[in-house]
Structure 1
Amino acid sequence: MSVPFQALHNFRDVGTSINSHDRKRIMKSHMLYRSARPDDATAVDRERLMNEYGIRTVIDLRTNSEHIKQARQRATPVVPLEGARTVRINFIGRRFEVALLKRLGWWDLVCFLVLFILRFRLTAISLLGRKVLRPRGLPGLCHDSLLHCQSEIRETLTILSDPSSYPVLMHCTQGKDRTGLIAMLVLLLLDASVPAVQREYEESWEGLEGVRESMVREMLEVGLGSEFAGTPEGLVGEVEALLKEGWGGVEGYLESVGVDVVGLRGVLAG
């Protein structure tokens, strides 16, 4: 087992993790890593990412609002990982936001727009979280992401289809849900079993143990409940069922959004 990082949480090798859970070689190890945000990684952590893990590409799936909030809370700017290409993908993009706004009642929509126009961006997002995201829960978030984040999913998986990108570190804020959904799609494509993918996802519960309280506070600030800090049992099965119902399975889904399925499988299959 590798030595834990000093200030980088929820870090793991996706290939090593899934191979262990499925008890067979599903995915190449030392290729795709996942973590929570690396903003507070120490100099020692960064050196390990560069020298021990050889990270060549960092995929950051956070929203513009998350970057703005982090910048306000920090005394110094976040420094990109030296020697690695950092790609920012606003995973919760405009299509997703519009879809959520359509679920607001007219008065809540007016309040949201007024807050947004007056530049109370985080307060507006909190309203959206309370009224729309929280009632739908994590399964609803996954469903909406599959429907409304397709260009972002394609962009992410296009990077993962390119052998020159690796090794890759992929993260969002917690490294659990957006990062987790991308990992689920990759692992299901590689024919990992649903129980094994679920266990890989659930590793985030332990991986976030040291920062869970602060993560819950951040969720409450954007209108979400503490349940969003969890790794609900059966979530991967629900995602697989959505993929089968809507697109005939993960391969049909990925092909429909423009992912090079053959290339992605060829790069990562064990």
Structure 2
Amino acid sequence: MASQETGKAAALTNVLNFRDVGSFVNNCNAGSAPKLKPQRLFRSARPDEASSADKNFVANVVGIKTIIDLRSDTEHIMAAKKHQQADKVSTPTSRDPAAGVPKIPGLKYEEINLNGKGFERSLVWRLKYISLARLIYNMALGYRTEGIAILGREVMQPRGLIGLGRDTLDYCGPEVKKVFDVLSDETAYPVLVHCTQGKDRTGITVMLALMLCDVSIDAISSDYVLSESELEPEKEERMKEIRSIGLDESFARCPPDFCPQIKEYLGAKYGGVREYMAGIGVSPEQQEQIRSILLA
């Protein structure tokens, strides 16, 4: 593991892909490039298996106050079952799918399914009729993973990570706004953003925040592609999950052109990040507040 100067924390043992975004970006940038405040915005993969030492580091050494969890209900259910099987405990009966997912005591959790209902509908609309019928049948019987695998094979795989990134911009405006409502609240910081891998949904979120701060696309891309090597230690285990929902190894990678392509799409369709944010309800005042929180 690299030193804190690169924004990566050597102190964590059971949480992958953890880093201080500000420190990492500052290390990438040179000269007159915008500088970010360190110890403000962090990113990681799921912290579900955090050790006692990891939890102490996150809560007391780094001082994280808020964790933004971008995962879906299905991912929370799978994570809760994994925890239940590993620790041989009963998952609490609750209508909240995240109720059985381990949490770090004392921190505020914002559970925002970034790829929510609008995104899900956009995928379902692309299915052929027979596949839609199979999806409904599986979901009705409680076979969530099997149902999602239909979407994975027939829609998500052909669209690829970049296509799905564009879909996130197009169909996840309400959820992106919820995330940025949190990020515009100075009392929430330091903030940790994560999904399952801390790679794509987390990557889109961090990318939008960094673009608001006029960070170069090269530095943003460097932060994004770092996730591929950071996640390598559990790649074999991740591939089991990825394959279970009908996807291939490309979904474990970080395409080098992901961030430039998303930026280009953002500009061509929406006029840029500020216009996109305003269009989904993140006010100019909130955007400036985020800049003031993150920029040195």
Shorter chain as normaliser: what TM range? over 0.9
Which residue of the partner structure matches residue 292 of structure 2? Answer: 266
Supply the AA of the counterpart residue of 1:28: K
Contact 2:34 2:213 in 1 (8 A): no
TM alignment of 1:56-71, pairs within 5 A: 56-71=65-80
Does the 8 Å CA contact 2:64/2:189 hold for their aligned counterparts?
A: yes
How far did residue 188 of structure 1 move? Answer: 1.2
Secondary structure of the corresponding residue to residue 101 of structure 2:
coil
- Where structure 2 has 5 or more consecutive residues not aligned to the other structure, the ranges are 5-9, 90-99
* Aligned-partner Cα distance in 1 for 2:83–2:238: 16
Amino acid at match of 1:53: V
Q: What is the CA distance between 1:216 and its match in structure 2?
A: 1.5
Return the TM-score normalized by structure 2: 0.89
Residue 83 (structure 1) aligns with: 106
CA RMSD of aligned residues (A): 1.1
**Aligned length in residues:** 270
Q: Give 1:222 shift.
A: 0.8
Please give the residue correspondences for 1:36-185 in structure 2 after superposition, counting only pairs within 5 Å: 36-75=45-84, 76=89, 77-185=100-208
Of residues 24, 30, 34, the one that matches 1:17 is 24
Percentage of pairs with the same residue: 37
Partner of 1:5: 12
| 3-state SS of 1:45 partner | helix
In the TM superposition, what whole-angstrom CA distance separates every residue of 1:191-211 from its partner, at most 9, and x where no partner exists?
Answer: 111111111111101211211
Deviation of the 1:16 alpha carbon:
0.7
Q: Look up the SS of the partner of 1:96 in the other structure.
A: helix
Shift of 1:25: 4.1
Instruction: Give the counterpart letter for 2:232 in structure 1.
Output: E
Partner of 2:35, secondary structure, is: coil
Query: Bigger shift: 119-128 or 70-79?
Result: 70-79
State how far apart, in whole Å, the 2-side matches of 1:39 and 1:224 are.
23
1:33-85 deviations in whole A, cap 9, x for unaligned?
00000000000100111111001001100000001111122234433211110
Structure having greater relative contact order (Cα 8 Å, sep ≥ 6): 1
**Contact (CA 8 Å) 1:115, 1:123: kept in 2 or not?**
yes
In structure 1, runs of 5+ residues without a counterpart are none
